[in-house]
Amino acid sequence: MCLAIPGQILEFIDPVNQIAKVDVGGVRRNVNVGLLAKEEGGIHLGDWVLIHVGFALSKVDEEEAAATLKLLRGLGEAFEDEIEQLKTSNIT
Amino acid sequence: MKYVDEFRDAELARALGVQIAALTEPGRHYKIMEVCGGHTHTIYKHGIEAHLPENVELVHGPGCPVCVIPMGRVDDGIAIARNPEVIFTCFGDMMRVPGGNGSFLDAKADGADIRFVYSPLDALKMAVANPDRQVVFYAIGFETTAPSTALTLMRAKAEGITNFSVMCNHVTIVPPLKALLDSPDLRLDAFIGPGHVSTVVGARPYEFICEDYNTPIVVAGFEPLDLLQSILMIMQQLNEGRAEVENQYGRVVPFEGNLRALEVLQEVFELRPYFEWRGLGFISQSALKLSEAYADFDAELRYATPGVRVADPKACQCGEVLKGVIKPYECKVFGTACTPETPIGTCMVSSEGACAAYYNFGRFAKSAARADA
């Protein structure tokens, strides 16, 4: 749970509960984007966000996201564990 | 991508190492604490220390949320989990953390309904799916994670879900740093500030470190070159006699933090008068509990918890490791009685813990260095 992983917003699912579908390293899951309510410029489809325990913490640019994903993949087991745990998530 | 390659460039790492070395005064020993467990992981994984001069020492701090949970809080969680109507949920990282009387995994094997969840929202969903059970979420983490628990509780309240509650173990980043600065057995020259927690709190809360303790802090990213660049920024400050909050991770961390996250923390939580940290003891105003408005969701008010304090095992030196007083390999049981498979202390449990990081990556470099010596 310590990691924050970049994911890309694919679809806004539920505006009331602020749920969006994201792609995190090839795994597609729903996350809450409510913490980005005050982000400058708002959030849009295709934006990259840092995801931690099912919540988007902050927007990042595409280059930062790519660099972070590469670093996390290099962690090996810690990253794979996090992705496995993400796969169990079924937020709606 | 060019950006990625630049950050991975070994030549740049070496060049930064040379610049850092040029700024050190001969005969002076520099102790720099990286607060965050993620940084500790990067330091060992990428052999950052190999790029630093011998008199620049990296000291590992208390920024791993799993590692700082005291044994008594695990025991209290297990006491709640043993209620037959309870489905007890926690992050996977917590499952193997030893309490005074076994871990959550042990209690699960013993019949308690304990399940790991990826997100507090998954725990809330479990409550909706199991209306005849009580779902308790064991919340841990610094300000990085606490807003997620807060938004989950706000949703539970808005939807009128009554069979959901939270045992809150959220901690705050600033009080342990102050405790370390006040500690007589540790002299630190500077801090590498945590990255992700700062996306929420911003950089402003660290200003007291500079103003009251004349100590620099640089908030850093997680790439190896981020860390080396942060250390260079620290050395420049020390060399010029400055003590300032600088933000090397500005591409992700806004100076003011995440205003919406700070707002929801304010609404859902209040500060506990004190909280016990593993190895650091009781620190005043260092943790969160649910506010009056959310008291109905407070598992500690719903269930009897023993609330006993359990002393850490005598052999375990996690306290000294968390305070940076000793290195993981200097602990008496490191790598022998205490391993990631059979951890005695929390620092060996979490992959972000200094002992586990060192066990997995650092010990090889160290034994090679020893063989050379």
Torsion of CA B325, B331, B334, B336, to 10 degrees: 180
Bridging pattern class, strands B190-193 and B30-36: parallel
Instruction: Work out the minimum CA distance from A5 to partner chain B, whole angstroms.
Output: 11
In chain A, the residue whose alpha carbon lies closest to the alpha carbon of B122 is A91
Find chain B residues with C-beta within 8 A of A22's C-beta.
Answer: none
Instruction: Work out the minimum CA distance from A13 to partner chain B, whole angstroms.
Output: 15
Q: Say if residue B19 is in the same domain as residue B161.
A: no
Stated as kind and residue range, the H or E segment containing B183 is none
Q: Name the CA radius of gyration of chain A, rounded.
A: 12
Question: Which pLDDT belongs to residue B18?
Answer: 96
Residue B39 lies in a domain: no
Instruction: Work out the minimum CA distance from B181 to partner chain A, whole angstroms.
Output: 25
Tokens of A33: 């984007």
Contact B264, B147 (CB under 8 A): yes
Helix, strand, or coil (residue B40):
helix
B15 at A interface, C-beta within 8 A: no
Tell me, what's the ipTM?
0.95
Residue B291 lies in a domain: yes
Range of the domain at B236: 2-34+177-247
Give 3-state DSSP helix, strand, coil % of chain A, rounded to 5. Answer: 30, 35, 35
Q: Say if residue B119 is in the same domain as residue B188.
A: no
User: Which phi-psi region, left, alpha or beta, contains residue B68 (left: φ > 0; alpha: ψ -120 to 50)?
Assistant: alpha
B193 has which bridge partners?
B219
Question: Which pLDDT belongs to residue B75?
Answer: 95
Q: Say if residue B234 is in the same domain as residue B184.
A: yes
Please say which residue of B302, B327, B342 terminates a domain.
B302
B64 at A interface, C-beta within 8 A: yes
Domain CATH for B140:
3.40.50.11740
Q: Say if residue B157 is in the same domain as residue B183.
A: no
Residue B235 lies in a domain: yes
How confident is the prediction along chain B (373 residues), in pLDDT tens digits per residue? Answer: 344 444 457 888 999 999 999 999 999 999 999 999 889 988 988 889 999 999 999 998 888 889 899 999 999 999 999 999 999 999 999 999 989 989 999 999 999 999 999 999 999 999 999 999 999 999 999 999 999 999 999 999 999 999 999 999 999 999 999 999 998 878 899 999 999 999 999 999 999 999 999 999 999 999 899 999 999 999 999 999 999 999 999 989 999 999 999 999 999 999 999 999 988 889 999 999 999 999 999 999 999 888 878 887 788 888 888 888 888 999 999 988 898 888 888 888 877 788 988 888 866 555 444 444 3
Find chain A residues with C-beta within 8 A of B1's C-beta.
Answer: 63, 66-67
E-assigned strands of B130-180? 134-141, 164-170
Q: Say if residue B294 is in the same domain as residue B327.
A: no
Q: Say if residue B365 is in the same domain as residue B293.
A: no
Stated as kind and residue range, the H or E segment containing B38 is helix B37-45
- Residue A57 CA to residue A35 CA, distance in Å, equals 6
Instruction: Work out the minimum CA distance from B110 to partner chain A, whole angstroms.
Output: 23
Q: Say if residue B165 is in the same domain as residue B291.
A: yes
In chain A, the residue whose alpha carbon lies closest to the alpha carbon of B250 is A60
Tokens 């969840």 belong to B117
A28 has which bridge partners?
A23
Amino acid identity, residue A67?
A
Q: DSSP state, B55?
A: T
Stated as kind and residue range, the H or E segment containing B148 is helix B146-158
Domains of chain A: 5-87 (2.30.30.140)
Give the count of domains, chain B: 3
Residue B60 lies in a domain: no
Please say which residue of B261, B278, B302 terminates a domain.
B302
Backbone angles phi, psi at B113, to 5 degrees: -85, 85
Question: Which pLDDT belongs to residue B10?
Answer: 81
Distances (CA, A) of B111 to B87, B257, B280, B282: 11, 43, 33, 32
Residue B313 lies in a domain: no
Residue B292 lies in a domain: yes
Q: Say if residue B346 is in the same domain as residue B291.
A: no
> What is the average pLDDT across A51-74?
92
Q: Say if residue B83 is in the same domain as residue B158.
A: yes
Find chain A residues with C-beta within 8 A of B42's C-beta.
Answer: 71
B200 at A interface, C-beta within 8 A: yes
Q: Say if residue B200 is in the same domain as residue B149.
A: no
What is the number of CB-based contacts under 8 A between chain A and chain B? 130
Residue B265 lies in a domain: no
First to last CA, chain B: 40
Q: Say if residue B215 is in the same domain as residue B157.
A: no
- Residue B23 CA to residue B240 CA, distance in Å, equals 10
Residue B328 lies in a domain: yes
Amino acid identity, residue B112?
A
Q: Say if residue B100 is in the same domain as residue B185.
A: no
